[in-house]
A and B are shown apart, each in its own frame.
Chain A
Amino acid sequence: MFVYEKKLQYPVRIKNCNPKLATVILSQYGGSDGELAASLRYLSQRFSMPYPELKGLLTDIGTEELGHLEMVGAILHQLTRNLSEEQIKTAGFDTYFVDHTAGVYPAASAGWPFTAASLQVKGDVICDLTEDMAAEQKARVTYDNILRLSDDPDVNDVIRFLREREIVHFQRFGEALELAKAKMDQKNVYYLNPAFDRG
């Protein structure tokens, strides 16, 4: 089960509201490579995993991603506080505002609502871990691009933190794959799927 702790993983303290920047960061909330997708992917994949290291790592990283979802939500909330009449008409934000006012809604920057169609649970050890490594890279690039687009130091401090977590998670998924491979057929790791076949 999950127990809520009333604090963020990393401080989010944004002084200036900036609705345009919020529309860009929205993708890390509800976009295909965002934190919600990451969290659901890992917390769902773990059920069929055969080895303790994989069950544990997917649980722990999936849980951390929920904390990142909360941080991104906090960024979006703080960037869209106390908006003026003029600010709600900001190009790009106006179309979000008409549907969600200043609420935080899981969608991609381009407007698509969050969809599980952007993630996969294949039920195969090598496939799922490779997907997870790719997911960390996709999220890392999204944060790179946010850093290119943002000139708010309060926002960039948080984005830098979140981006670095993708790199650490990539490393751990890679190590987890090594641990899994060591338990599989050394001559042919594709001989069977230990998440399904009883070998």
Chain B
Amino acid sequence: MYIESDNTRACGDGVGTLPGCAPLAVPYVPFQQESAQKYGQADALANGTLFPGLNLPFHVKVSPGNLPRTACAELQALQFVLVELGLYLDTHKEDKEAFQLFQKYAAALEEGKKRYEAMYGPLTLCAAAKDAAYEWLDDPWPWEYKQEGAGK
């Protein structure tokens, strides 16, 4: 699922040439162009990147990850887009469109965290203060996975 087209870009992903007059003896990586195609949040998490143009899998495992349909995975997908857009903005701080998307996802993440914490308990020590009792210690912790009855 794509949420933006790439018809405003000068050239497509994976094509184009370096400037012939680029400085010598130093690495050169082309900038990712603005308005790059983007996945929706679930596909972004499953592929490990928000950007189809950067999705360059190894031949042994090309298919995207098979995500569980859980509240936690939904939250992870929102958070992932925010992390990915944050790194993008670190090197593209003038990209207003990307910043607006960043703001949109930040708001969605905020809401998502509230809903998640109401059902499954606090995500941060600070959030543990909102509950009637101290639930911070409650199992499962993130590294634990039980096949049966794994609610999270």
Q: Which of A's residues lie within 8 Å of B, judged by CB? A: 3-15, 53, 56-57, 60-61, 64, 70, 73-74, 77-78, 126, 130, 133, 143-144, 147-148, 153, 156-165, 167-179, 181, 186, 189-190
Give bound CA distance, A156 to B59, whole Å: 12
Contacts of A158 in B (CB 8 A): 65
CB distance from B141 to the nearest CB of A (A): 7
Give bound CA distance, A18 to B134, whole Å: 36
Give bound CA distance, A56 to B90, whole Å: 7
Query: In chain B, residues 84-138, which have Cβ atoms closer than 8 Å to a Cβ of chain A?
Result: 84, 86-88, 90-93, 121-126, 136
Most chain A CB within a 10 A radius of its CB, from B26, B84, B136, B143 = B143
Contacts of B87 in A (CB 8 A): 57, 60-61, 64, 168-169, 172
CB distance from A83 to the nearest CB of B (A): 16
B143 & A164 in contact (Cβ 8 Å cutoff): no
B48 & A160 in contact (Cβ 8 Å cutoff): yes
Contacts of A171 in B (CB 8 A): 29, 32, 54
Closest 4 CB pairs of A and B: A174-B29, A164-B48, A74-B143, A157-B65
A7 & B91 in contact (Cβ 8 Å cutoff): no
Give bound CA distance, A64 to B79, whole Å: 11
Give bound CA distance, A158 to B46, whole Å: 9
Q: Across the interface, name the chain A residue whose C-beta is closest to B136.
A: A6
Interface of A is mostly: helix
On chain B, the number of residues with a Cβ less than 8 Å from chain A's Cβ atoms is: 57
Contacts of A9 in B (CB 8 A): 76, 79-80, 83
A175 & B55 in contact (Cβ 8 Å cutoff): no
Give bound CA distance, A110 to B21, whole Å: 45
Give bound CA distance, A14 to B30, whole Å: 38
Contacts A13-B145, A178-B29 supplied; 16 other A-B pairs, CB < 8 Å: A9-B76, A10-B45, A10-B76, A11-B73, A70-B142, A126-B26, A147-B58, A147-B61, A160-B57, A160-B65, A168-B48, A172-B91, A174-B29, A175-B29, A177-B26, A186-B23
Instruction: Please encode chain B, from 63 to 90, with 1 for each CB lying within 8 Å of some chain A CB and 0 for all others.
Output: 0111110101101100110011011101
Known contacts A13-B150, A159-B61: does B76 contact A7 (CB below 8 Å)?
yes
